[in-house]
Amino acid sequence: MSIQDMEVVYQKPDAMTDVPFPYCPGCSHGTVHRLVAEVMDELDITERAIGVTSAGCSVRSWRQFDCDMVMALHGRGPAVATGIKRARPVSVVFTYQGDGDMAAIGTGEIVHAASRCERITVIYVNNGVFGATGGQQAPTTLIGQPTTSYPAGRDPKESGYPLRMAEMLSVISAESYIARASVHDVAHILKTKKAIRKAFEIQIDGRGFGMVEILAACPTNWRLSPVRCMERIQSEMIPYYPLGEFSSRGKEGRS
């Protein structure tokens, strides 16, 4: 069989550029990028999509998506996305943020965007550390998890408890689709894609605010192999951050 006779069954999404991924080996951002791009292709929204990048590792996403991209100040992605969406209602506007960006300096921005039920889509990648600045403790770092700023592990008596953003936002956002998913294995990657699609669809239909929290790995700052990172998401992160869809009344459907 010649190469001309072969059937293409898997290829790069059209919504992605040809720029190589800049992330560390085993980082989950590449997987999430691809899922977002696949959904953009399937919904045929790339030409009218506008992405807003955060500060941190995910700021590099502006080179990965083949759509208009805007860079926001640290944590201000939801505010910038709100302005763009209100100025250009026909656009499909999304933010791509990490936990160090959205759950730390950007907490106020995301809370108020959700409370106003802004017609935007938020892709929120939670790997439990500040990845770009050396692996310091983030608002999402698990109890006992060691970081460069707290080598002995997070102590709630000193720095409180990890923020469950999906649960918190679901309580205040009456018109919303809010979910938590993971990319630690193939089955969960497929579920994550479905959640991302729903978060875009609720915006496209004008029905409300959409946010998908995605549990992700940071092998460099966790100081674990990529395989061990996937195991850690399953054994340590999911018990504290249960997966599922969360309603506006705070009830969750876990998977």
Where do the domains of the chain lie? Answer: 20-247
191 and 181 Cβ atoms separated by less than 8 Å: yes
Write the CB contacts of 223 (distance below 8 Å, at least 6 apart in sequence).
none
Tens of pLDDT, residues 206-219: 999 999 999 999 99
183 and 243 Cβ atoms separated by less than 8 Å: no
Tens of pLDDT, residues 147-204: 999 999 999 999 999 999 999 999 888 889 999 999 999 999 999 999 999 999 999 9
CA distances from 166 to 123, 213, 215, 245 (A): 12, 7, 11, 9
For range 72-78, the mean pLDDT: 91
Alpha-carbon dihedral angle through residues 225, 226, 228, 233, given to the nearest 10 degrees: 140
CA distances from 137 to 98, 148, 166 (A): 13, 7, 19
Q: What is the pLDDT of residue 131?
A: 80
DSSP assignment of 8-52, as one string?
P-----TTB-SPPP-SPTT-SHHHHHHHHHHHHHHHT-GGGEEEE
User: Helix, strand, or coil here: 239?
Assistant: helix
Q: What is the pLDDT of residue 249?
A: 40
Homologous superfamily in CATH for domain 20-247: Thiamin diphosphate (ThDP)-binding fold, Pyr/PP domains (3.40.50.970)
Strand order in the sheet with 252-254: 68-71, 49-53, 92-98, 121-126, 209-215, 176-182, 244-246, 252-254
